[in-house]
Amino acid sequence: MTDQPLPPGDEGEGSSADGPPSPHLRARVPDHVAGGHFSTGAIVITGPNEFVLDFLQTVGRPHRVAARVVMPHVVMPQFIQALRTNLDLYQGRFGALQSSPQPEGEGKRPTPQEIYDDLKMPDEVLSGVYANGVMIGHGPNEFGLDFLTSFFPQSAVSTRVFLAAGQVPRLLESLENAVKQWQQRRDAAAGENTPPPDEGDDFPTDGPDAFPDSGPDSGPGDEDPNSGGEGGTWG
């Protein structure tokens, strides 16, 4: 186990639930995490209290979920800010990045259940890993995401994910879409459950009807009426 700064590249941005982004954030890297996972796509799922990020490996068969990250709602906007800042740094150094081309679909898009029926989910990935912070670094061809558990007395990397640089704009778009949909759903729930004057809180207590669990949508920005929630996929 080692204390280690950002993954590859000398440009980086860190973010945690405890404060603003810090480029000097360090964390302990357990040996079993150090190798990381290469990802070719991701699914973003919105739950009642958290976002779930499933990072996929879709080169060869079977397609599989390589890493699952569970992130509180409050942390996701900070992750998006750090990722956008790092993307700007990358483009300032290496030039503009275009999103990787998406394969043209044939027929109707698969349902969330059909997507997961085609994915192998190893037992050790099923419950995911918690993250309340992230460190982001990049090299000329890839980005490295170190997801953190930032607790006293030592931050630690809970999982490490590598992405091709061309995939990052699409990931950023999916994350922004998921947060936007969650905020719209939260605001609508708050408006429908406004308590009488001097009674209760300004916002309703989270429950299965307020922010229902959801499966991923077939694409960013589209909502599956049968899924009960919102999400996004790319890759």
The pTM of the full predicted model, rounded to 2 decimals, is 0.73
**Cβ-contact 147, 161 below 8 angstroms:** yes
* Ramachandran angles phi, psi of 116, nearest 5°: -75, -25
pLDDT band at 99 (very low <50, low <70, confident <90, very high): low
Pairing of the two strands 41-46 and 231-234:
antiparallel
Q: Judge whether residue 158 has pLDDT over 60.
A: yes
Choose between 107 and 1: higher pLDDT.
107
Report the share of the chain in percent with pLDDT over 90.
Answer: 55
On the CB side of 115, how many CA atoms lie within 13 Å of its CA? 26
State the average pLDDT over residues 207-216: 30
Q: Which long-range contacts (CB under 8 A, 24 or more apart) does 150-157 make?
A: 150/16, 150/17, 150/18, 150/27, 154/27, 154/28, 155/16, 155/25, 155/26, 155/27, 155/28, 156/27, 156/28, 156/29, 156/30, 157/4, 157/27, 157/28, 157/29, 157/30, 157/33
Q: Which of 18-22, 77-81, 193-197 has the lowest mean pLDDT?
A: 18-22
Q: Judge whether residue 199 has pLDDT over 50.
A: no
